[in-house]
Amino acid sequence: MTAVDPVRGGRSTGSFRARLGIAITTVALLAATAFAVSLAAGPAPAEARGLTTGFSEDNMFLSPDASTRAYWFGRAAADKAQIARVNIYWRKAVGSSPPANPTNPADPDYDFSRLDGAVRDATARHMQVLITVFGAPTWAEGKNRPSSAPLGTWKPDPHALGQFAQALAKRYSGSFQGLPRVSLFEVWNEPNLSVNLTPQWVGKKPTSPDLYRGLLNAFYSGVKSVAPGDTVIGGATAPFGDPRAHPRDPKLPRMRPLAFLRQMFCLNRKLKPGGCQAKTHLDVLSHHPINFTNPPTYRAINHDDIEVADFHKLVPLIHAAERTGHVRPRGHHPLWATELSWYTKPPSKFGIPPAKQARWLEQGLYLLWKQGASVAVNFLLRDEPHTGLFSASTGVFFYSGQKKPSYKSFRFPFVTHRISKSRVQAWGKAPASGKLKIQKQQGNKWHTVKRLKVHGGKVFKEKLRVRGKAKLRGQVGSTTSLVWKQR
């Protein structure tokens, strides 16, 4: 979701409103069109798959103030974050001309100081770092950039990006100037949006998927030439797009994510080879299944858009790319949700009550896991300052630093769903190792109905005998989950 101005690194209000256009419309249609997600068997045995969770955050994680950065990394760790996603704006990391030695991380034209601090602080708190790279410097953009194309988006040079990838992989190889190792790199942010990559179309022909494939493959090659064991993540698509004939903003058209990814993998609507023979190189496919104000069970109106309940659409897509050989390397490619979020009101004038955000966040984590996600990253950790209708109020902390109810549901997600008249299945993610008590409220007291051993940070699920409505919760040591109301 991070609709970020690639020059200033701040939020671009105009592009952000364009992103929200379809979401606002769908709120009005929610009562008429929402229906519960139907989940078939997952792409792999769900019991064998965990769920790594964390936060996507720039303002706190990349703060130039070391004490501020350390404080917020500490709060993320206290909320049991396992991964920290940070953006590096390529155009901000280099000067106004190409570095003399672009593959050398010590080239004086590079400035990695803020990123270095984030990597050190995250690693010290046992969090993995996921670096997302986007926003080309002017000298690495194509010629004749139109005024409608935001800076950093116009036909970025794949070769130059590949050289930058080598510099990053060397710097965070674990053997450069005492810096910790980073092994997770995501290529570009929401490339199906014109605010991040242009042109999206040339006439009726989609061009951004081909542009993006070139960038992704060059970055993949650059990283792997240095560190073959590193993981390169591709996709990072935004949840919504526009019809080609009637884009919401003709100057900034958007491609629908599923259509974008099909073209990237050279597949037609039936997921058969068609249109090109190019191979896409990635280790993981990512997407941003953002719901804004829709419940996690809500499905996007258009088939080619992807919210939380639509995440399963990526399963046949990646399987088709694997089967046809249109993705490299061969073998299994995991699915990650590298941004999800709900807006709260307050503080924003657009959103849902904080208590509802908390319930939907834990339910969203469960549904993403059920549909095949092995990583889920919330955007943000802390709300942005409240400056208007579209202020990003998606954190588990208010801007003041006060915890929202979602702090608790992120730290210890616990949900149940009915599988028969007499049985429900409980699902959650343990905040610590020990004995889990699953409890049911009876009157003013809580009675334990199930005990099992759990491991901190690991997914658990258990079947329970429960008839009718019930209030249930999990407890590990002194830590309790939110109460889940089972119907």
Return mean pLDDT, the chain: 91
Q: Which residues does residue 87 pair with via DSSP β-bridges, in sequence order? A: 132
Establish if 165 belongs to a structural domain. yes
| Domain match, 469 and 449 both | yes
Establish if 192 belongs to a structural domain. yes
| Domain match, 239 and 250 both | yes
pLDDT on residue 91: 97
pLDDT on residue 28: 34
| Domain match, 257 and 357 both | yes
Mapping DSSP onto H, E and C, the string for 178-218 reads CCCCCCEEEECCCCCECCCCECCEECCEECHHHHHHHHHHH
* Cα–Cα distance measured from residue 363 to residue 399, given in angstroms and rounded to the nearest whole number: 24
Q: Which domain holds residue 466?
A: 412-487
| Domain match, 327 and 464 both | no
Kindly state the average pLDDT of the residues 296-307.
98
Establish if 2 belongs to a structural domain. no
| Domain match, 226 and 375 both | yes
| Domain match, 394 and 424 both | no
| Domain match, 337 and 278 both | yes
Residue 191 · residue 243 · CB < 8 Å: no
| Domain match, 351 and 446 both | no
Sorting pLDDT into bands at 50, 70 and 90, what band is 386?
confident
- State whether residue 1 is helix, strand or coil: coil
CATH number at residue 25: 3.20.20.80
Establish if 84 belongs to a structural domain. yes
| Domain match, 355 and 461 both | no
Establish if 7 belongs to a structural domain. no
User: Which of residues 370, 394, 411 is at a domain's end?
Assistant: 411
| Domain match, 194 and 302 both | yes
CATH number at residue 469: 2.60.40
Establish if 5 belongs to a structural domain. no
| Domain match, 242 and 355 both | yes
Establish if 171 belongs to a structural domain. yes
pLDDT digits (tens, 9 = 90+) for 396-408: 999 999 999 999 9
pLDDT digits (tens, 9 = 90+) for 397-451: 999 999 999 999 999 999 999 999 999 999 999 999 999 999 999 999 999 999 9
Residue 341 · residue 379 · CB < 8 Å: yes
Sorting pLDDT into bands at 50, 70 and 90, what band is 114?
very high
Q: What is the dihedral of CA 308, 309, 311, 313, to 10 degrees?
A: -150
User: Which of residues 355, 376, 411 is at a domain's end?
Assistant: 411
Alpha carbon of 93 to those of 76, 110, 185, 399: distances in Å?
25, 5, 16, 27
User: Which of residues 361, 384, 411 is at a domain's end?
Assistant: 411
pLDDT on residue 275: 78
* Cα–Cα distance measured from residue 426 to residue 411, given in angstroms and rounded to the nearest whole number: 16
Establish if 338 belongs to a structural domain. yes
pLDDT digits (tens, 9 = 90+) for 152-208: 999 999 999 999 999 999 999 999 999 999 999 999 999 999 999 999 999 989 999
Question: How many domains does the chain contain in total?
Answer: 2
Residue 337 · residue 300 · CB < 8 Å: no
User: Percentage of the chain with pLDDT > 70?
Assistant: 90
| Domain match, 184 and 216 both | yes
pLDDT digits (tens, 9 = 90+) for 225-277: 999 999 999 999 999 999 998 999 999 999 999 999 999 999 999 999 987 99
